[in-house]
Chain A
Amino acid sequence: MIKDMFQVLAENGRARPELEPKLPPSDLQKLYALMATTRAADLKALKLQRQGRMGTFAPSLGHEACQVGSAFALQRKDWVFPYFRDLGTYITLGLPLKNYFLYWMGNEEGMRIPADLNIFTISVPVGSQLPHSVGCALAMKYRKEQAAVVAYFGDGATSEGDFGEALNFAGVFKTPNVFICFNNQYAISTPVRRQTAAKTIAQKAIAYGFDGIRADGNDVLAMYALTREALEKARTGGGPTLIEAFTYRMGNHTTSDDASRYRMEAEVKDWSRRDPIERFRRYLRDKGLWDESFEDHVQKEAEDLINKAIEEAESTPPPRPEDLFIHTYKDMTPELNDQLAELRDLLKGGPR
C-alpha cells in the first residue's frame, strides 16, 4: 500500500485502535448501511441506464468510503459543493434518492435541492465549483456563522485553473473550506501522472499556505476522522484543508465510456481486493456488529428505498414547456413570453 497515507483500517479490516474515531456501534452500522445503499443504488442505476430508462451518468463504484465517510462528518449547517460523482455523498446527506434518478433521467427537477439541505447543485465543468465554495466560505466568515464549506472534486480538477485560483483565495483569506479530492487515478482515460508531476495531490496545499493530507480513500473511518478534524478546524477559524482521498474508479468514467481501452484488467483486479465495503465489513464482523442477518436487513432496506425512488422518479411527469422558461430570469422577459407562446401554439397543432 502507499506510504504516508492516513489509514485507520488496514486492508484486512484490522483497525489501529489509537486512530479509531469514537463512534457508537449504531453509527458504525449506519456507515455500513450508507455504503451498501450507495453501491446498490449505483448498480441499479447502471441497469436502468442499460435498459434505456436513465441517461448517461457517472458511476460511483469504489468511491463509497470516501463519499460516505467524509459526508458523515458534516453538520447540517455546513455547506457542500459536489461535482458529478457524488451518489454516496447525497445519500449520506439525505438528498432524496428520487432526485438523483430524476436528474440523470433528464429532468431538471432532480436538481431542485430541498430548502433544508445546504447542498449546492451539480457542477459539470471540471473544477469550476471550487471558486463557489470559497465564496460561500467568505460569506460564512463575513456573517460569523460557524459553518464549514466542503467542495468535492476529482484528480483531473487539480489541473484546472479554478483549482489553483480557488485554493489560493482560500489560503489568502483563511476561509473555512475543506477541499476533498477523490483521487481515483483517472480523468476519463488520463492517468493521474499526466495531471501532475507532484508526488501527491495533498502536497499542493503547501504552496497555498495550508495543510494537505492524503487519506486512504477506501477506508471509511480514515475519511470520516480526517474530514471531521478539518471541518472543526475550519469552523473555529483555523482555515482551509486539502484532503486527498486515494482511491480507484472501479467503473467506467461514465456509462458512455469503456475503460478497457486505456487500463489493464490486472490493475482493476488489484484494486478490487481493496474494496471499501468489504474492508469495513470485516472490521464490523470482528467487532460483532455484522452478521448475515444484518446484511440481509441492510440490503432489503436499500432495495425498498431504491425501488421507491425509481418509482417516484419514473412517475414524475416530464417538464411542461413553461417549466423550461420560467427559471431563466426571476421574471419572464417579453421575448421569452413570445417564444413560449409560439412553442405552445406549435404543440397545440401537433406534428406537421
Chain B
Amino acid sequence: MMLNMVQALNQAMHQEMEKDPRVVVLGEDVGLDGGVFRLTEGLLEKFGPERVIDTPLAESTIVGASIGMAVAGLRPIAEIQFMGFIYLAINQIIAHAARLRNRSRGRFTVPIVIRTPYGAGVKALEHHSESTEALFCQIPGLKVVVPSTPYDAKGLLLASIRDDDPVIFLEPTKLYRAGRQDVPEDPYEIPLGTAKIVREGEGVTIVAWGAMIPVAQQAAEIVGKDGIFPEVIDLRTLSPLDRETVLESVRRNGRLLIVHEAPKTCGLGAEVAAFVAERAMFQLDAPVLRITGQDITVPLAKGEDYYYPSPERVARGIKKIMES
C-alpha cells in the first residue's frame, strides 16, 4: 500500500497494539486529537482511554510514568510533541530510563519508545526545529533511531516497540508527508543498529540520516552531472552505531563526507569522523569533511535557509572533497 511516513508509523502502532496488550500510548493530545501531526489517529477509538492516554502537560512525567509502567510490565510509547520540549524530560530519560537495567542488575528494564518529531526545514516556530540527537547518543543505555522513509519508519518503529531497551525515536518532521512509498501491510522489523547503503556509488561515501537523506540524494544527482557518483549511507540507528557498514564503504571509497542538520560541534558527525580516523585512516585519500547545521540557534522561518544544509551546499562539499 502506498503510504506516507505518518501513515506508516500510524499503521505500525495500530498493528502492534492489536497484537500486544502491553503496548500503550501516552502523551499530550494523542487521544481525542490523534496527535498534532495525526500520528496516533484512530488509536483511542480502537483501544480506549486506558491504552491511549491524553496526559496533562508534563513531559517529565510522561516519560517518568512510562518508566513506571514499563517496570510493571507494560510497553509504553510516549509521545513528546516536539523535540524542543524533550528537555523537560531529560532527567527521566538520562537518570532513569537509560540506567535502570544497570542499576537493578537487569531486574528492571525499560522497554519504552519515546517518539518525537525533530528537525528543521519546515519553517516552524522556535523550539520546533530541534535536532539534538547527539545529546542522547552519548548516554549509555539509550538507543536512538531515525527513519528516513515510510518503509523504514514502519519497520524501525515495530523493532523499537519490541526492543527491551529504551528507544528515542526521532521522526523527521520534514519527511512526515514528503512522499509515499509502497509499505507492506504485514508487520515487519528492521533490526536496530543496522545502517543501509541507500545509493551505491564510488569515490566518496556520504553518511547521513533522517531528513538529510533526501538532501544527500539530491546532492548526488547534482554532482552526477560532473561524473561523480557518491555512495550514500543512511545510518537509521544512531545508537548503537553500525560502524562496520560505514568502515567497509569508506575503505572502499577512500573519502568520507558526513551530513547532518544538527550543529557541527560535538554533533554525531564528530563521532563518525573519529572512528573512521581510528580504524580506516590510511584508507582515506582526503580529509574527512562535515556539512552540517551552523553552531547557532536554529533560526526562525526567515533565516532558516542559512542554517539548513541544502543539496547545493552538500554538492559543493562533495566537489571539494573530490578535489582534495
Contact = CB atoms under 8 A, between A and B. Distances in A.
B240 A142 contact: no
Given A136-B68, A169-B58, A327-B101, A115 B107 contact: yes
Contact of A128 (B51, B53, B91): B91
Contact of A132 (B50, B68, B74): B68
A169 B65 contact: yes
Interface stretch (B92-100, B175-183, B288-296, B298-306): B92-100
B68 A133 contact: yes
Main secondary structure of the interface of A (DSSP, over half): helix
B63 A139 contact: no
A165 B88 CA distance: 11
Interface in A136-173: 136-143, 161-162, 165-166, 168-169, 172-173
Contact of B104 (A113, A128, A168, A172): A113
Interface in B8-51: 24, 50-51
Nearest to A329: B165
B61 interface: yes
Interface in B96-119: 96, 100-109
A330 B91 contact: no
Nearest to A112: B105
Given A132-B68, A327-B102, A168 B58 contact: yes
B195 interface: no
Most buried by A among B24, B61, B103: B61
Nearest to A115: B107
Given A111-B104, A333-B193, A334-B243, A134 B65 contact: yes
Given A142-B24, A142-B50, A327 B165 contact: no
Contacts of B96: 123, 125, 128, 132
A108 interface: yes
Contacts of B241: 335
Range class of the A interface residue count: 35 or more
A335 B240 CA distance: 8
A334 B193 CA distance: 10
B56 to A, nearest CB: 6
A291 B173 CA distance: 73
B285 interface: no
B244 A334 contact: yes
Nearest to B50: A142
A131 B69 contact: no
A143 B63 CA distance: 20
Nearest to A167: B61
B68 to A, nearest CB: 3
B277 interface: no
A173 B143 CA distance: 30
A142 B60 contact: no
Contacts of B105: 108-109, 111-112, 327
A142 B163 CA distance: 22
Nearest to A124: B95
A346 interface: no
20 contacts: A111-B103, A113-B104, A121-B100, A132-B64, A132-B65, A132-B68, A132-B71, A135-B66, A135-B67, A135-B71, A142-B24, A143-B72, A165-B60, A168-B58, A327-B102, A328-B101, A329-B165, A329-B240, A330-B109, A333-B240
